[in-house]
Amino acid sequence: MQSQMEHPMETMMFMFYRFAEDKGYLTKDDLRVLMEKEFSGFLENQKDPLAMDKIREDLDQCGDGKVGFHSCFSLIVRLIIACKDYFVAHM
Amino acid sequence: MQSQMEHPMETMMFMFYRFAEDKGYLTKDDLRVLMEKEFSGFLENQKDPLAMDKIREDLDQCGDGKVGFHSCFSLIVRLIIACKDYFVAHM
């Protein structure tokens, strides 16, 4: 049986593959769809209209238009840390 | 309403605080309890009896016996990546 921590870890792993599908990486369009579906609140609160492009460029470390598993999780961890900082500041 | 990605992110954030409590970091004992409760399968499959000590030393970046939020998440991401590598190899 999975623990309370293992279950969300597995969910996040499979969510990546839901958008990456068999090719195993996210294209520009995959990342846009993932962000729009999963982080719509984050995008709505962005004042910078180029935020989505900046995120994609930042994650596309090799400049080949592909965002892999590691890069995608670096974004998710940064979002978790931002949420935690907000949570701690407003506790 | 939370998305399918936001819910596990929030769960993981609050799980850290369940073990860290008000002090906001994990002690050696907190980390042991977290690992035993949440990653018991991982620990059972460890052949190295010193694995737990090595993980703690690795995460205790300042050498002050405290494991903070960032360090804890670096461990969790490494576990997710290890799970993903296993998943891809055995798909």
ipTM confidence: 0.79
Residues in B closer than 8 angstroms to A31, CB to CB, are none
pLDDT of residue A17: 92
Return the pLDDT at B74. Answer: 84
Nearest CA in chain B to A78: B70
What pLDDT score was predicted for residue A46? 78
Instruction: Using CB atoms, pick whichever of A5, A76, A77 lies closest to residue B38.
Output: A5
Average pLDDT value over all residues in chain B: 87
pLDDT of residue A91: 66
Place of tokens 């090595």: B54
What stretch of H or E contains A79? Answer: helix A69-89
| SS3 assignment, position A64 | coil
* Domains of chain A by start residue, with CATH: 6-89 (1.10.238.10)
Class of residue A3 by CB neighbours under 10 A (exposed 0-12, middle 13-18, buried 19+): middle
CB B12 within 8 A of CB A9: yes
Which ranges of chain A have pLDDT less than 50? none
pLDDT band (50, 70, 90) for residue B20: very high
Task: Specify the pLDDT at position B37.
Answer: 93
- Judged against a pLDDT cut of 80, whether residue B13 lies above it is answered with yes
